[in-house]
């Protein structure tokens, strides 16, 4: 039976990697990649791109499938402004939880963070703790700096330095995006106890 996965922020750097890792292991999965643009650099026959404003719950309910098996929150980042951080980190995570509970999802998932500004690391840790209280199991990974697969930003330039630092502390060791993606899929497998078929 075909499983359905909703990826909030599925067109992002990590979202595309998660789609590729999941699809490589479970190619009969149907993916809905939700993004503001509704466009995706991936071209898979089982991938549907959904243009959606996640702050409009009526639109979200209208455009997402009535039932899905898994949902992943891939939105967020280290934003200093408390109001903007709530919009970018808390709100999508809480929406994911609400959708997972109302749409009968088997599991939900997210990316935490072990490296970055203190408020960001604390926000992600708090969200993981909150979501873990849901009746829907939570799959998650907590990487440090994510790099690779063509990403070239300011933080990517720190990878060589952090690789050296990672020899002394796991909290500094950068992680390739393909590993983060495969680890998240493995976390979903672990919380569902029977794979994702």
Instruction: Provide the residue ranges of all domains of the chain, joining segments of one domain with +.
Output: 4-144+175-192
Is 54 in contact with 92 (CB distance < 8 Å)?
yes
Q: Classify 150 as helix, strand or coil.
A: coil
Q: In this predicted structure, what is the pLDDT of residue 152?
A: 54
Whether pLDDT at 170 is above 60 = no
Q: In this predicted structure, what is the pLDDT of residue 167?
A: 44
What distance lies between CA 147 and its chain's CA centroid? 15
Q: Classify 141 as helix, strand or coil.
A: strand
Q: In this predicted structure, what is the pLDDT of residue 44?
A: 95
Q: 4-144+175-192, what's its fold?
A: Rossmann fold (3.40.50)
Q: In this predicted structure, what is the pLDDT of residue 78?
A: 86
Q: What are phi and psi of 138, to 5 degrees?
A: -110, 125
Cα–Cα distances (Å) from 151 to 16, 85, 115, 143, 163, in that order, read 12, 23, 18, 16, 16
Q: In this predicted structure, what is the pLDDT of residue 153?
A: 55
Is 174 in contact with 127 (CB distance < 8 Å)?
no
Pairing mode, strands 70-73 and 4-8: parallel
The answer to pTM > 0.85 is: yes
Q: What is the mean pLDDT of residues 75-104?
A: 91
Q: In this predicted structure, what is the pLDDT of residue 151?
A: 54
Q: In this predicted structure, what is the pLDDT of residue 135?
A: 96
Q: In this predicted structure, what is the pLDDT of residue 166?
A: 45
Residues 6 or more apart whose CB falls under 8 angstroms from that of 38 comprise: 49, 50, 51, 52
């Amino acid at each position: 039976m075909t499983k359905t996965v909703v990826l909030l922020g599925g067109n992002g750097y990590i979202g595309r990697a998660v789609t590729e890792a999941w699809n490589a292991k479970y190619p009969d999965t149907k993916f809905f990649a939700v993004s503001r643009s509704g466009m995706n650099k991936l071209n898979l026959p089982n991938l549907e791109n959904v243009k959606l404003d996640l702050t409009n719950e009526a639109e979200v309910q209208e455009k997402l499938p009535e039932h899905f098996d898994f949902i992943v929150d891939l939105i967020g980042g280290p934003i200093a402004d408390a109001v903007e951080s709530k919009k970018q980190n808390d709100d999508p995570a809480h929406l994911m939880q609400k959708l997972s509970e109302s749409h009968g999802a088997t599991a939900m998932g997210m990316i935490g963070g072990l490296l970055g500004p203190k408020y960001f690391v604390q926000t992600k840790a708090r969200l993981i703790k909150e979501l873990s209280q849901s009746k829907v199991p939570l799959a998650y990974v907590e990487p440090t700096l994510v790099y690779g697969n063509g990403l070239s930003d300011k933080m990517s330039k720190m990878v060589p330095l952090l690789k050296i630092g990672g020899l002394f502390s796991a909290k500094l060791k950068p992680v390739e995006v393909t590993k983060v993606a495969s680890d998240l899929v493995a976390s979903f497998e672990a919380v569902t106890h029977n794979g994702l078929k």
